[in-house]
Structure 1
Amino acid sequence: MPLGFFGVGLFSYLVYAGLQYTTATNSLMLQAIMPIMTMVIPAVVFGERLRPLLALGAGLSFAGVVWIVTQGHPLALQWGALNRGDLLAVTAVFLYSAYATFLRKAPAVHHLSLLAALFAIGAASLAIPYIAMLASEGLSLPSVEVVATVLYVGIFPSLAAYGLFNRSVVLIGSVRAGVYMNLPTVFGVGLAIPLLGEYLSSYHFVGAIMIIAAIAISRR
């Protein structure tokens, strides 16, 4: 099933591979265009009408993310040339946006059965680069920290997140669900404070308010 291969397996591979070459901030910044893509792709592929309020919500949400990652100085943003990690992140965003769009074409089965099928295909596709890595670098014994990290990534950002997002697309559609994809940036900043010792500044509050306002607009 293409949804499992592109939307789960290849998407996950590109996201985590991209983080080896670019910063988490860059990756989050580029992922902020996902709500806009979830509007454009249905409009192009299915001829879906782009409602003004949704367009406004996506633009405001993106502005909130830009405000956070530039620390309240969006005009100081220097795009420069996209590096390898940035290109991988952009490709991953496109794949997930297409995944959200084409979920409407998924077989009419129970959402948990669909999730199991998608993850089975995704895991099988991820086995390909894993086997290639083993062939080039050999097998090594992972540390406790690595095992814990893999378990966390596999359960929460992957299994639980996909299940909840898939269900939300069924209930409110891919366009409205896509607006919420800017929240990881806000949550990421919130987690960085206790875990990395960073401080909460005024630009965090301003950006978060803009994103929350965007979500409220999209709900109309």
Structure 2
Amino acid sequence: MQTNYEHIKIYTLLALCVLFWSANFILGRYLHDALSPITLAFYRWMGVFFCILPFLIKEFKPIMQALKKDFIYLSILSILSVSCFNTFLYIGLQDTMATNALLINSVFPILVLVLAFIILKDKISRYQLLGIASSTVGVVFIVLQGDFQKISTFELNRGDLFVMLASLSWAMYSVLLRYKKITLNPLQFLTTTVTIGLIVLSPFYFIYTDNFAYDWIEVKLHWHFIAFIIIFPSILSFLFWNHGILEIGAEKTGQFTHLMPIFGAILAFIFLNEMPKFYHLLGVVFIFSGIYFSLFLKRKR
């Protein structure tokens, strides 16, 4: 049984995970004119691969044993998380507004609950439903800047579709992570998924890239942003997220994605000098209320 300290530790790691992903969201949009989505995704995971290469060599035997036993399962997880998720997200950020993307992203916990119900036969409690509803209202309130009349102007375009596909692929990954128990520890698992995911992603980069010299120039110009994406949203966030799913489940872990608009507002204030508005405060109230309903209320009863 987990202690309060263990719960606080898990929740802190998940909050940091979402903070790093919020920064990835901002950087993905910031770099969309300099680097194509497939280029950013390729160099991101190539960088991660070289970071974990020594570990891959050291842990080669247990990784190969796991692959022999669960190759298809591990390949599916790798494709959903590494090959698809961020590539789809970066493609979406080429064409969609941040408001649309955040609205679509707020559907993620609902996707997790539905997929967990279908695949894992998990039950959905009334507290989880109440928490999802409250958090979603908070997210919608923030992205619409407190003006619900803006919903009438919401239109689905190519970018929206790819952001939706990104959310779906990550929700599927989060649920399938609990479908079968594997023998790999967190670092071994990360090493395995990154390696397989990069192998799947690489042919698409070489097929759809016209000017490799130009790509390399842009990568060198923006190396510090890419290095940040490699270390924080990729390596650390993946470790934190996987740990959260294994400890408290995909449904509760998914609720933390509702913190993204809050972190987005904070990052905008720090780096863009944008002052928080009243609708941010109201949105925060709904979001934290939703997290409380989903994570704490049932456990206290």
TM-score range, shorter chain: over 0.9
Contact 2:269–2:276 (8 Å) recurs in 1: yes
**Is 1:44 aligned to residue 111 of structure 2?**
no
Matched with 1:121 is 196
Matched with 1:63 is 137
TM-score scaled by structure 2?
A: 0.69
1:213 to partner: Cα distance: 1.2
Identity %: 29
Q: Which has the larger radius of gyration?
A: 2
- Report the AA paired with residue 214 of structure 1: G
1:142 to partner: Cα distance: 2.4
In 2, the alpha carbon distance for the partners of 1:128 and 1:193 equals 39
**Is 1:191 aligned to residue 228 of structure 2?**
no
1:82-113 per-residue CA deviation (whole Å, 9 max, x = no partner) reads 11000000011011001000001252321111
Higher helix share: 2
SS of the equivalent of 1:139 reads helix
Matched with 1:147 is 223
Contact 1:43–1:50 (8 Å) recurs in 2: yes
In 1, the alpha carbon distance for the partners of 2:112 and 2:225 equals 30
In 1, the alpha carbon distance for the partners of 2:273 and 2:152 equals 26
The equivalences for 1:1-220 within 5 A come to 1-78=75-152, 80-104=154-178, 105=180, 107-134=182-209, 136-140=210-214, 141-142=217-218, 144-220=220-296
Gaps of 5+ in 1: none
Comparing 20-29 with 52-61, which one deviates more in the overlay? 20-29
In 2, the alpha carbon distance for the partners of 1:79 and 1:159 equals 37
Distance verdict in 2 for CA 1:152–1:70, change over 3 Å: same
RMSD across aligned positions (CA): 1.5
Aligned residues: 219
In 1, the alpha carbon distance for the partners of 2:275 and 2:109 equals 28
1:145 to partner: Cα distance: 4.3
TM-score scaled by structure 1?
A: 0.93
Gaps of 5+ in 2: 1-74, 297-301
In 1, the alpha carbon distance for the partners of 2:127 and 2:160 equals 29
1:164 to partner: Cα distance: 0.3
In 2, the alpha carbon distance for the partners of 1:79 and 1:37 equals 24
In 2, the alpha carbon distance for the partners of 1:56 and 1:68 equals 19
1:18-66 per-residue CA deviation (whole Å, 9 max, x = no partner) reads 1011122321221111011110111122222111101111111111100
1:143 to partner: Cα distance: 5.6
- Report the AA paired with residue 130 of structure 2: L
